[in-house]
Structure 1
Amino acid sequence: LDQIWGYEYLGDSRTIDVHIKRLREKFKDHESWRIATVRGIGYKFHVRENKY
């Protein structure tokens, strides 16, 4: 986070987690959309193809 917002940033280190949670809530109606947690790296947006 220091590289993104700089050393003077006064926000919480959980800021990204809060935004990801909100995005996941918005995506819950789209079963093919998913944000996966990549441990030690960050997050990954994934769109599954619908197979008929």
Structure 2
Amino acid sequence: LDQVWGANVYVEERTVDVHIRRLRKSLQSPHGDYSNLIQTVRGTGYRFSARGLG
């Protein structure tokens, strides 16, 4: 997070997780659930994958 926001900014530990959860929720709609486009990579973070479309 320091590389994104800088070392002088206080950011909660779970900030990225909260944003990912909100993004996944916004990708769910009556027309389809695309929340699986964002995949969790254990020990690393997250990735966007078009494989979630299939």
Q: TM-score, normalised by structure 2?
A: 0.69
Cα displacement (A) at 1:11:
2.1
In 1, distance between residues paired with 2:43 and 2:6? 21
- Aligned equivalent of 1:8: 8
Aligned partner of 2:44 among 41, 46, 51: 41
Q: Which amino acid aligns with 1:7?
A: A
In 1, distance between residues paired with 2:22 and 2:49? 16
What do you get for the CA RMSD once the two structures are aligned? 1.7
* Gap regions ≥5 residues in structure 2: none
Partner of 1:25, secondary structure, is helix
**Whose radius of gyration is greater, 1 or 2?**
1
In 1, distance between residues paired with 2:13 and 2:35? 26
Q: Which amino acid aligns with 2:33?
A: E
Q: TM-score, normalised by structure 1?
A: 0.71
Higher fraction of helix: 2
Cα displacement (A) at 1:33:
4.7
Identity over the aligned pairs, expressed in percent? 45
Cα displacement (A) at 1:46:
2.5
Q: Does the 8 Å CA contact 1:33/1:46 hold for their aligned counterparts?
A: no
